Each structure stands twice: as C-alpha cells, then as structure tokens.
Structure 1
Amino acid sequence: MTRPDSHEQTGIVRLIAAYVETARGQRALEPARDAAFRCMLDLLGATAAGINEPGVVAIRGMALKAMGAGSVPVWFAGLSSSVIGAAWANSAAASALDLDDGHRLARGHPGAAVIPTAFAVAHETGATLEELISAIVIGYEVSVAIGAARVVYGNTGTWSSYAVVATAAALRRTPSAIVAHALAIAGESAPNQLFSSASAPRAPAPEGSAIKEGIPWSVVTGLVALGLAEGGHTGPRNILDNSLHYRFPDDLSLGSSLHIRNTYFKLYACCRHVHAPVDAMLNVIRQHHINANEIDAIEVETTSGAMRISNRAQPENLIDVQYSIPYCLALAAFHGPQALLPLTTKSLAHDDELTGLARKVTLSLSPEFDAVFPAQTLARVTVACGGQRFVSDITAPKGEATNPLSWAELEAKFSAATRMVATHTQQNQVLGAMNDARAGNLAALTACFEGLTLNSILRG
C-alpha cells in the first residue's frame, strides 16, 4: 500500500487503518499462515516457562483484581479474566524469560503483544481459526512496520501498542475511521521506556526489573485505546507523520506478510545480543576441548546494540542475567547451553567460578559487524587458554529467518523450556493441540488454555 506523495493530516495512520480493514477479510497467504503457527508454538513455550516468575505472578494477581472477571483463559494458570486482564497476564508470562520471538528490523518482540491479544479477543468474538491467523499476521505487519520506522531505538513497548490495536480491531471488525483514532491513542499513550530505551552511555545502567521492555503494559494500553476510540475518544492521527520520530518508506508494503515470515526464534532465555557470542564461544570450546576452569580471558567482538545492554558480571536477578553477555557466557561455559533454556534462580548462585569467569569477559565494538546491524547481529569470540588464543568464526545466532528452526526444533525447544513446569503428558497435550490447530482444528488448543494448569515441579 503506497503512501501519498503529499501527506494529509492522517496520512500514515489512515493507511494502516485501511490496511487492517482490508486484510482482515482475506485469508492469510500460506507462507504467512505457516509462520503464524510457528510463532504460536514458540510463544506457548515461552509463556509456560515464565508462568511462575514473580513479576508474572504479580501481574496475574493484579489483572484479576483490577481488570474484572470474565471467561477469557489465563493460559496454564487455571484462571480466567476479562479480555484485557487475560491478555495482560498472558503477555507478561510470554515475555518474562526473554524466550519470545523477535524481529531484526523492529529490534524488538512482536509476538508477546500480538498473540496474547489475538487469542483473548478471538475468545470474545468467537472468531474462526482463519480469522485468528489473519489477525496475528496483521499484528506482526503493523508492529514491525512502525517499530522499524522509528528514528531512534525504542523498546518494544513503545511501539507494540499499535500492533495490539491492529490485531484486536481486525477481530472486532472495527471501522477504519475508529481504528485510526485507536492507533493514535495507543501510540501517544504507550509506555515511554525513556530510561531503559536510552542510548548509550547510560549512567546509571538500568537495573534488571520485571518491567523489562514494557510489552505487557503496551497490551493494556492498546486494548484500552481501541475501547476508547470505539466510545468516541480521539487521538492525534498525524502522530506517525512526524519525521522527527518516524521515517517510513515511500511504499509501506503492508500486506506482503513478509514481517511475520522474517521473525526469529530464540534458543536461550536471554537478550538476542547474547546469542551469537554464546554460540561462538561454545563452538570454540567444543572444537578445542577447552575446560572452563582453564580459561584466562574471553574477548567478544560485537555490535553497538550488544554494547548498550547492562552486561553485569555479577547480576542481582534473572533479568540482569538476561541482559549480560559476560554472565551468560560463564553460565554456558561451565554448565552448557541447557543452563540458558530456561534460566532459573540456580543461575544466581554467585559462586566464584561464574562471577570470576564473567569478569574475564571483555566486549569491543566491531565496525564491520555494526555496519550490518540491526539486519544481522554478528559476533566473533576469542578464548585465551593455556597461553593460546582460539578464535571463532564470525557467528550469527541460531534461529534467524535466514536459517529458521524447523517445526521439530521448535517442539524440542518447547519441551526443553517447559521441562520444569510441565509433565511429559502435559507437554504432549500442548504439542498435539498445536498440530491439531495446524490441521484446522482449534478446539484442543482452546481446551489446553482453559483446563491445563502448570506448576513448578522442578524435575529437570
């Protein structure tokens, strides 16, 4: 959908609203449908793994208190709430451990906002499977288009509220004139994330907290914005035409479904900037049979994005761990990649081995790698040991859209990520339900949401 040469007051917002109205009546293209199912499976694993995190428990409790009663399932908790309450709680669990999907162009995580919203509103409207899938595809298209157009970096919550409006409006069949105001309200009311989104150097660096990227609250913001617009509330519909904050291409290309197809998936419960260094270091350790206790130093060549996260050698909480290349490298060196899928409180043992090795990690900016960032997040790692220096290949993280995880690999990730909260029977129930959904039957997955309760059984 091409933007007019001369912007009217409602230019970009109006185009997006018109896209939502048009696309919701069309069956998603097969590659996009396949991508949507993959994103759904991936997010269910992230949600289940995060179900008992303290911040998630707090949001779940507040959602039930503040957002009202209802019949919309709070996934894997044996509870239900209103549309907003359930979507908020499910988004919180999905984003808690940093296992949720991401997108290179937007530099953020659309799935944790879009998919909980889609299922909550689909429950409300009685949507068909195809309507659900179309709404998810629309949500990804809108979120990535807007996230990628930001002039300066903003955490996911600063733009994912637009995606929430688009997803919910597609399922509610909201007229485009109302969608436009809802988008504007959501954009202007979204979490600002000024502290944690700030450019480096940040002094002090934000401490790890359950707020993280503000994704769950952006879900609340987006759903409230749509409800307000439906009631007659208005927003500044020229919000996206402000060139100080957004630069959109002449052709927005909405409707190509490329954005959901270019999603990446994570194999470690940590920031994407951590993944390439971990993969590179583990390859060196395996190739040269290096003992972690004998490592003298680890040097990481990386991008500016990786340099801006907190990278604490002695993290105070799991969120600090998620944003620390040095500490995650130490965890993987001593305990293998399984220590990062998922992260648990055991990783905060703060033993001298872990923190000692983390303090031996140094990061440096590679102009070569930064030139292709954010389209790629490359790293090269040098491990010094016994008077020798072992250098990795230039490494991209696993699970990128250019080298995607197979359905079987996503199932394996689900099983590994949920091994501490779900029995084998429960895991197989969810995986079977997802395969039923791919075959056209959503009933089994709905039953999982409504009746399957997971607990911290700590058996892995």
Structure 2
Amino acid sequence: MRTLTQDLASMLTRPISKLDRDRASLLLLDWTGCAVAGRQEPAGQKITNAFPNEDGNCIRIGASKASPQMAALHNGCLGNVLEMDDVDKRAILHAGPTVIPAALAMAEHVGATAEEFLNAIVIGYEITLRIGRAVGPGHYAFWHNTATCGIFGATAAACYLLDKSDLVSALGLAGTQASGFWQTRHESDSMAKQLHAGHAAQAGVQSALLSAQGFQGPRSILEGEQGFFAATCPGADPQDVFKDYGNGWLIHQTSLKPYPACRHAHAAIDAAKLVEAWDGKSPIIVETYADALKFCDRPDPKSTTEAKFSLQHSVALIFAGHPLTLDAFTADVINHLQIMRVRDLVQVREGKGFNKAYPAHYGAAVIAGGKRYSVDDAYGDPECPLSNKDVTEKALMLLKEGGVSEKKSKALVDATLANDFQSYKVLLP
C-alpha cells in the first residue's frame, strides 16, 4: 500500500524551468544577506563561537569550513537571526533558513552544478510549503512551523543532490526529528528560535546521508496512527498536502520581508504608512488578526527581540518618523523618549474581518486622525511583491551591515542573480 510520503515524493518529478531557478536565485540572494548580517548579531556570534574548530569542505558564513551537517546547522541559525527571512503566509513559516543551508551544504559536499543546486531549493520549498500549509492552526499554536515543516524541505533538497538517497525513507527520518516549541517566544533572552532553523537544516542533511546508506525511516510518517499529523496537528488532514494551488512550483508564492520585524507586524506598519495626518497626542488604534496579537502584542518591549515582535513599537516608529532600519529595534531606539511616548499611545485590538481572511491574507488597519487606513496584504506578499530591485537593495544593505565591502557586495549580488555558483561560493564571507 502506498503511503502519503510516497505520493508526495512523486509530485517532485515535474520539470523545473529557468524561471523557477531564477526565483530560487532571488530567494538565495535574500537569504544570503540575512545570514551575512545575522553573523554580526550576538546570537550569530555565539553560534560561530560554539563550534570554532570543525573539519570539512562546506562553507560556514564567517567561520572555518565544516562537515555538511555542521555547515547546515551554522548557516541555518544565522539566516533567521534578524527576522528578515522570506515567509510563506499560508504555511506561516520561513523556508529559506532551513532549505537553503541544507541545499548549499549538500551541493558543496557532492560538487553539484548551479542548476542542480537551484533545483534542490525549488524542491525543498515545495515540500516545506505543502506540509506547512496542511498542518493547521492546532499545530501552529504550539509548534514553530519553520522548524517542524522546514525539516522535511531541507531533507528533500539534500536528497535531490545525493546519489542513492531514498527520499521517502529520509522524509520519515526527518519527521521523527521534527521539533521546535513556541515557548521560546515567551522568554526574551531565548535564542532557541534560531536553533530551530539550524537544527532543521542539519537534520535534513543527516536524514539524506543516512538514507543513502540504507538507514530506514518510517514511510508513513505523515498519516501514521502515531505519526507527524496525529501527534502534532489536531484537526488537520494529512491529505491537505496535496491541495491544488494552481500551476507551477510554490516557491513563486512566497513573500519577502522589507522590514526587520516579525511578519505579523508588517501589515500594521504598511497601514501606518498610509496615515495622512495625526495630532501627535491622540490614541493610535491598530486592528489586525488574532495571531498577530498573540505574537506581537508587546506594549513595553525590553530587548531587540521583543521590539521586533511588538506591534506597538513597529507602528510607533512610523508615527515618530524613524526609518525601519536594523537599528530601529536596538536599545537606544527602544528607550528613546519620543518613541516611548508614541508607543504608549498605540492600542491594539482584534479585527474580525482580518481573522476571516487570515492566513491567506495578512491584513491590518490603523485608526488615527479620525480616519481608518486599511491594507489587506502586507508589502512583499505576492499580491504586492517586492521588485527585484527592492530585493537587491535589501541584500546590499544587509551585506554592508555584515561588514562586506561595497565592491564585494555588488559582485556577490551579480554572481547570485547570474546563477554563477562557483563565484557565489568564493565571494561568501
């Protein structure tokens, strides 16, 4: 009897076009900027310092080369540090920091071509997003989808590049390692969210390597009576991994983030930008969907992490005229008297219409100056996408933050978008 994992694997045999690979290149560029800048942050430095002496042939950004498993762990953690990584709104996860580090590590390990590397990214996104969109709100209530669903995509990407790997068995191994609890969001000094992404990338590589040796995993990991969906997805149907989302690979349906804040705060930021007039002292009302409040209702953030997960802080930045740069979420700005004064005026509440549209649409409204300003989709979503120029400028900004020279940054951007994998690897810091 065929399992759902076998059927899911069979969906990956359709052709991958140059247009698909170009989309993978754009997301690779976005992830690269996030990871390079992320290494400069305290969490990024701790990740590097934890494993200083490793042996292997795979790039670790800002550190010595390592085994494919350790390279995937290291780079996977870095890509999620800044909260600027790509996101899929229906799956409510970041595919980039799990799939791309696994694909990169395995591509280096086996000497893959640029085309093979980019194909692996396309396939990894497909698996991650299909499972992520199927797990439902019962899963997301406790589990970090990036970690628990990204591990499947990381495995699929690695298996695509590794001869003799058994994708179905490897996905079984991946599923039995899926982990990552949202408790990390309740403790401001916790860095476990970054570990979630790194572990998923690392476990994906390990699952592929083990499967190539004939190490067997459970083939009915998705629908089994004690499998992934039964254990972690109350109310969800495993068959939903096969939903029809139209023609083409799902990598084209992902969103890119223009602001260094939680994605749940982005629609409120966009609505705040529409405000035409405000008297500087009256309340600012934010209406949005329940999950945005669950994760980002923080009226008095005390740290960079808390500020990035604060609707009040993000909206206050707009009303105070502060640009949404990386330093907008640092202690100096968090504790700036003007920002604090405006932040105290921001009130948040649930909007039923936004709840109904979510997660297909991340919407919000801001009421200020006697008027209501509303957006149905956040900037960077497929409905209002970032242009290639926007993505390039974001990457150049992040590379500069990561200490890369302007000349080298431009060369790295050009190599990435030209699908020049050899130059890309040489130019990575």
Deviation at 1:86, TM superposition (A): 1.4
* Residue equivalent to 1:264: 255
* Residue equivalent to 2:40: 52
Deviations 1:366-421 (CA, angstroms, capped at 9, x unpaired): 111111100100111012xxxx4232133521111122212111111122333333
* Residue equivalent to 2:427: 448
Other structure's SS at 1:308 match: helix
CA contact (8 A) 2:297 2:348 kept: no
CA contact (8 A) 1:63 1:86 kept: no
CA contact (8 A) 1:317 1:348 kept: no
* Residue equivalent to 2:168: 180
* Residue equivalent to 2:273: 282
Other structure's SS at 1:240 match: coil
1:233 pairs, out of 208, 215, 231, with 215
* Residue equivalent to 2:414: 432
CA contact (8 A) 1:71 1:82 kept: yes
Q: RMSD of the TM alignment (CA)?
A: 2.4
1:398 pairs, out of 379, 382, 393, with 379
**Whole-angstrom CA distance in 2 between matches of 1:337 and 1:379:** 20
Q: 1:336 to 1:355 in 2, by over 3 A?
A: closer
Q: 1:423 to 1:342 in 2, by over 3 A?
A: farther
1:423 pairs, out of 389, 398, 405, with 405
**Whole-angstrom CA distance in 1 between matches of 2:208 and 2:223:** 20
Deviation at 1:322, TM superposition (A): 1.6
Question: What code does the residue aligned with 1:182 have?
Answer: A
Q: 1:348 to 1:224 in 2, by over 3 A?
A: farther
Q: 1:35 to 1:307 in 2, by over 3 A?
A: same
Deviations 1:271-314 (CA, angstroms, capped at 9, x unpaired): 11111111111220xx22x47xx232211110112011043222
**Whole-angstrom CA distance in 2 between matches of 1:310 and 1:393:** 18
CA contact (8 A) 2:268 2:364 kept: yes
Higher mean alpha-carbon deviation, 222-231 vs 131-140, is at 222-231
CA contact (8 A) 2:133 2:241 kept: no
Other structure's SS at 2:203 match: helix
Deviation at 1:320, TM superposition (A): 1.2
Question: Equivalences for 1:104-143 in 2 at 5 Å?
Answer: 104-143=89-128
2:151 pairs, out of 161, 168, 172, with 161
Could you tell me which runs of 5 or more consecutive residues in structure 2 were left unpaired when the two chains were aligned.
none
Give yes or no for the alignment of 1:320 onto 2:311.
no
Other structure's SS at 1:108 match: coil
Q: What TM-score does the superposition give when structure 1 sets the normalisation length?
A: 0.83
Deviation at 1:343, TM superposition (A): 5.0
Deviations 1:167-221 (CA, angstroms, capped at 9, x unpaired): 000010344xx32222112112122415358xxxxxxx44353212621111122
**Whole-angstrom CA distance in 2 between matches of 1:207 and 1:223:** 30
Question: What code does the residue aligned with 2:399 have?
Answer: T
Q: What TM-score does the superposition give when structure 2 sets the normalisation length?
A: 0.89
Q: 1:232 to 1:295 in 2, by over 3 A?
A: farther
**Whole-angstrom CA distance in 2 between matches of 1:119 and 1:283:** 40
Question: What code does the residue aligned with 1:432 have?
Answer: D
* Greater helix share, structure number: 2
Q: 1:418 to 1:82 in 2, by over 3 A?
A: same
Deviation at 1:163, TM superposition (A): 0.7
1:216 pairs, out of 190, 198, 203, with 198
Could you tell me which runs of 5 or more consecutive residues in structure 1 were left unpaired when the two chains were aligned.
1-7, 198-204, 453-460
Deviation at 1:120, TM superposition (A): 1.1
Give yes or no for the alignment of 1:306 onto 2:287.
no
Question: Equivalences for 1:343-382 in 2 at 5 Å?
Answer: 345-347=330-332, 349-382=334-367
Deviations 1:330-356 (CA, angstroms, capped at 9, x unpaired): 2333243333x4655355542333233
* Residue equivalent to 2:27: 39
Deviation at 1:269, TM superposition (A): 0.7
Q: 1:301 to 1:371 in 2, by over 3 A?
A: same
CA contact (8 A) 2:265 2:296 kept: no
